[in-house]
Amino acid sequence: MNMISISPRRSRGKVHVATVTLAHGGGGKAMKDLIDDVFVEAFDNPLLAPLDDQARIDLSSLSQHGDRLAFTTDSFVVDPLIFPGGDIGKLAVCGTVNDLAVGGALALYLSCAVIVEEGVPIDLLRQVARSMAATARDAGVKIVTGDTKVVNKGACDRMFITTTGVGVVAAGVELGAHRARPGDAVLVNGLLGDHGAAILGARGDMALQSPIESDCAPLHDLVARLLDAAPNTRFMRDPTRGGIATVLNEIAEASQIAIDIDETATPLRDEVRGFCEILGLDPLYLANEGKIVAVAPPDEADRAVEAMRVHPLGREAAVIGHVVDGEPGRVTMRTIFGGRRIVDMLVGEQLPRIC
């Protein structure tokens, strides 16, 4: 195997002001000091250390994990930046790691591009970078390259982050929304809607005595265990914006099948249920950042649920419905009153800026 060339350790700059200024995006010493003091200090690893315009990765280190490269990118604009259970940095890492994981990929490397508004406190930027670094360590990935831009005050809302992820898919793993078949079970790994409810609560729109925490978490290990137990799983997706209702409609449309779910089997926290009743929201459309929707063949569904339930992020795992013969593209729910209602694709948005 070719060895990675590691540059000699150089002295790092330090930031000596309290807030981000336009000079920190100007390409000179102030920018170098900000990158060194905030991002290199938090993300430090051999692939990042040269601070070139790209990270160079040995292909042999990728091929030992599988036979296909997985590549994804996502931007994060959550408001507020810090919320119960997480912050924009944790969210950025988890969101990208999870996008790779639900495709059956082992996430290995991330890039991080940050757009910062002039006047943002340096300590807030440090807190976000350290949160990203800690979450990346938990997920077993390295942040190996990135970019920083500073914009005039008012040109963005404090901070936006874009993360791009590279992973590898093992041979034999085949997942896709078009693979669902009648009889398949629809699974989730736990309580739904926590992230959307947490964000709205954190904005101060409701005085909650027991704040709901976001479910934001990296799902790579949970997904690996599910695939070990149910290797013929048809499809997985993390139901972020649009919630599980949107994911189920995407599956039904792509596979040209119908899906029927059971309201009594759909796991919800009592606080989230009450929260939605008060505000007239539908929890099926609330965002999640630590949940998956999976479709498994009937002979593997029970094993998949059991495998998730022994994992800390899957203790409330459940079968919430099944793929059925019916009108292609139609999703329905059996309600607690014994009737049925159509679960359509979300039109517009229930909550803005939730991820």
User: What CATH number did the domain enclosing 46 receive?
Assistant: 3.30.1330.10
| Dihedral pair phi/psi, residue 134, rounded to 5° | -65, -40
Q: Which CATH number covers residue 231? A: 3.90.650.10
3-state secondary structure of 235: strand
Question: Kind and range of the H or E element at 43?
Answer: helix 41-43
Taking residues 314-328, report their average pLDDT.
Answer: 97
* Domain termination residue (choose one: 169, 190, 223): 169
Burial group, residue 54, by CB count within 10 angstroms (0-12, 13-18, 19+): exposed
Number of structural domains in the chain: 2
- Tens digits of residue pLDDT in 180-189: 999 999 999 9
- Clarify whether residues 201 and 309 are in a common domain: yes
- Clarify whether residues 188 and 158 are in a common domain: no
What type of residue is 108? L
3-state secondary structure of 136: helix
Distance CA 325, CA 318 (A): 22
The sign of the CA dihedral 14, 16, 18, 21 is negative
- Clarify whether residues 127 and 197 are in a common domain: no
Instruction: Answer whether residue 33 shows pLDDT above 80.
Output: yes
Instruction: Answer whether residue 290 shows pLDDT above 70.
Output: yes
Instruction: Answer whether residue 347 shows pLDDT above 80.
Output: no
- Clarify whether residues 128 and 27 are in a common domain: yes
- Clarify whether residues 203 and 165 are in a common domain: no
DSSP state of 172: T
* Domain termination residue (choose one: 132, 153, 169): 169
Instruction: Answer whether residue 275 shows pLDDT above 90.
Output: no
- Clarify whether residues 80 and 135 are in a common domain: yes
| 297 within domain boundaries | yes
Instruction: Answer whether residue 206 shows pLDDT above 80.
Output: no
Identity of the highest mean pLDDT range in 69-83, 192-206, 267-281: 69-83
Range of the domain at 92: 22-169
Each residue of 110-145: b (16+ CB within 10 Å) or e?
bbbbbbbbbebebebbbbbbbbbbebbebbebbbbb
Residue 208 is predicted with a pLDDT of 62
DSSP state of 156: S
Question: Kind and range of the H or E element at 158?
Answer: none
Instruction: Answer whether residue 1 shows pLDDT above 50.
Output: no
- Clarify whether residues 190 and 331 are in a common domain: yes
Which of the two residues, 204 and 125, has the higher pLDDT score?
Answer: 125
Burial group, residue 8, by CB count within 10 angstroms (0-12, 13-18, 19+): exposed
Instruction: Answer whether residue 4 shows pLDDT above 60.
Output: no
Distance CA 31, CA 200 (A): 35
DSSP state of 1: -
Distance CA 224, CA 98 (A): 12
- Clarify whether residues 90 and 165 are in a common domain: yes
- Clarify whether residues 230 and 92 are in a common domain: no
Q: Structure tokens of 43?
A: 């993300």
Taking residues 322-331, report their average pLDDT.
Answer: 97
- At residue 10 the predicted structure's pLDDT band, cuts being 50, 70 and 90, is low
* Domain termination residue (choose one: 169, 199, 221): 169
| Dihedral pair phi/psi, residue 74, rounded to 5° | -155, 150
- Clarify whether residues 240 and 304 are in a common domain: yes
